[in-house]
Structure 1
Amino acid sequence: MKCGPAVRRRKLGAELRALRAHAGLTSSEAARLVGWHQSKVSRIETGRSKVKPADVRLLLDAYDVQDPDLRELLVVLAGSGEGGRDHWWHAYRGVLPPTYRDFISLESQACAMRTLENSVVPGLLQTPEYAREVTRAAVDGLPDGKVDALVEVRLARQDVLRSNPPLHLSAVLDEAVLRRTVGGPEVMARQLKHLREAAHLPHVRIQVLPFGVGAHVGVTGPFVIFSFPNTSDLDVVVLDHLTSSLHLERKEDLHAYSEAFNSLQVNALSPEESLGFIDGIADAA
Structure 2
Amino acid sequence: MAGKRTVLTVRLRRLAAMLHEMRETAGLSKEVVSAKTGINVTTLYRIETAQARPQRRTLTAMLELYDIPEQQRTDALQLLVDALKPGMARSFEDAVSEVYGAYINFEAEALSARFFQATFIPGLLQTEAYANAVYETTMPKISEQVREQRVRARLERSRVLGKHDPLELWVVLDEAVIKRRVGGKEVMRQQFDQLLDHTNKRNVILQILPFDAGAHPGMLGSFTLLDFPDPADPELVYVEGIASDELIEGHPEVRRYGVMFDQLRAMALSPRDSITMIEQAIEEMGR
Which bracket does the TM-score occupy, shorter chain normalised? 0.7 to 0.9
Map 1:160-239 onto structure 2 (within 5 A): 160-231=160-231, 234-239=234-239
**Residue correspondence of structure 1 range 1-285 to structure 2 within 5 A:** 5=8, 12-15=15-18, 26=26, 43=44, 46-47=48-49, 50-52=52-54, 62-63=71-72, 79-81=83-85, 87-231=87-231, 234-285=234-285
**Partner Cα distance (1:153, 1:267) in 2:** 32
Change (3 A) 1:127 1:214: same
Moved more, 180-189 or 224-233: 224-233
Deviation at 1:210, TM superposition (A): 0.7
Q: 1:80 to 1:182 in 2, by over 3 A?
A: same
Task: Figure out how many residues of one structure are paired with residues of the other and give that number.
Answer: 263
Q: Among the aligned pairs, what percent are the same residue?
A: 28
Q: Which moved more, 1:191-200 or 1:223-232?
A: 223-232
CA separation of 1:225/1:48 partners in 2, compared to 1, >3 Å: closer, same or farther?
A: closer
Amino acid at match of 1:14: A
Q: Look up the match of 1:32.
A: none
Q: 1:189 and 1:254 mapped to 2: Cα distance?
A: 35
Secondary structure of 2:151's counterpart equals helix
Contact 1:7 1:249 in 2 (8 A): no
Distance 2:51 2:219 in 1: 38
Alpha-carbon distance, 1:13 to partner: 3.4
Where has structure 1 moved over 3 Å in runs of 4 or more?
3-21, 25-28, 36-40, 42-56, 58-61, 78-81
Query: Given residue 115 of structure 2, which amino acid in structure 1 is its aligned partner?
Result: T
Post-superposition shift, 1:142?
Answer: 2.4
Q: Output the TM-score relative to the length of structure 1.
A: 0.78
Q: Which moved more, 1:93-102 or 1:175-184?
A: 93-102
Q: Structure 1 residue 212: deviation in Å?
A: 1.0
- Using a 3 Å threshold, how does the CA distance of structure 1 residues 199 and 49 change in structure 2: closer, same or farther? closer
CA pair 248-10 structure 1, distance change in 2 beyond 3 A: same
CA RMSD of aligned residues (A): 3.6
Question: How big is the shift at 1:10?
Answer: 6.2
Q: Any unmatched runs of 5+ in structure 2?
A: 1-5, 29-35
